Amino acid sequence: MGNNSYGQCGRKVVENEVYSESHKIHRMQDFDGQVVQVACGQDHSLFLTDRGEVYSCGWGADGQTGLGHYDVTSVPTKLGGDLAGVKVVQVATYGDCCLAVSADGGLFGWGNSEYLQLASVTESTQVPECAGASAGWPADPVLLCAGEGHVFVWGYGILGKGPSLVETALPERIPPTLFGLTEFNPDVQVSLIRCGLSHFAALSNKGELFVWGKKVPGAWCLGWCLPRLQRGWAWGGVGLGWGLSPLLQ
């Protein structure tokens, strides 16, 4: 449901359709298997099935559909390339850059790389097919939480390691002490992360919420270059949207 200007809702684009007044809900049935995760980008959508396959639709001008072209795709279509035969367990996107994690810990990416999101594996700024990345490294900076609860960041912007780091093509680990790890609290680790276009949020296994990044409406952060604890309740979940940031208590 919503704006379908580029087929991101998985249905044919209707010329001059007024989306602000549309209540049309379209059921997509173009998948081989059951959909277990959906990730929505700026003008594209990703779908992960229970078979570990990734489908996409929507705008492809930056390669964000991962289908090997830069055209609009209005029908969810299965990705190939380096993802062919790979069992994917998670997908992520927000602006025009996409990532997928495989069952064996491999990381794959495609789409926009103007801000160094995929610069460690390609010099291209528009990557129309999934590119495999080393399993050793874990809108549009990129944020990743490794299995041990360590947080890595790369790309461009207020990345969370102080004012001296504004861009990097390789993942940089944010010191775990910034998320509450001390010799008196050795079991603290980050369990959930969210990445917006220019701000971030991390939730620890203690229910503590940390945010940093560019000052934008509804984002809590005020241009903080290091993760800052938001004191109050113990949180159970967080989301970063366009001008709003929902929380689960």
Q: Per the structure block, which two tokens stand in for 28?
A: 């997509």
Angle at CA 152, nearest 5°, toward 8 and 52? 45
Average pLDDT of the segment spanning 104-127: 90
- Closest C-alpha to 120, from 185, 193, 57, 172: 172
Distances (CA, A) of 144 to 74, 138, 195, 247: 29, 6, 9, 20
Work out the end-to-end distance of the chain between its first and last CA atoms, rounded to an integer number of angstroms: 27
Q: What is the pLDDT of residue 218?
A: 55
**Rounded-to-integer distance, Cα 54 and Cα 75, Å:** 13
Q: Give the confidence band of 219 by pLDDT, cuts at 50, 70, 90.
A: low
pLDDT, tens digit (0-9, with 9 covering 90-100), for 150-173: 888 888 888 888 888 888 988 889
138 pLDDT band, cuts 50/70/90, is very low
Query: Does residue 133 surpass a pLDDT of 80?
Result: no
Q: How many Å apart are CA 243 and CA 240, to the nearest integer?
A: 8
User: Which tokens sit at 101?
Assistant: 């994690």
Which of 222 and 81 is assigned the larger pLDDT?
81
Check pLDDT > 60 for residue 93: yes
Q: Is the pLDDT of residue 202 over 80?
A: yes
Residue 221 has a pLDDT of 55
Cα(202)–Cα(190) distance, rounded to whole angstroms? 7
pLDDT bucket at 137, cuts 50 / 70 / 90: very low
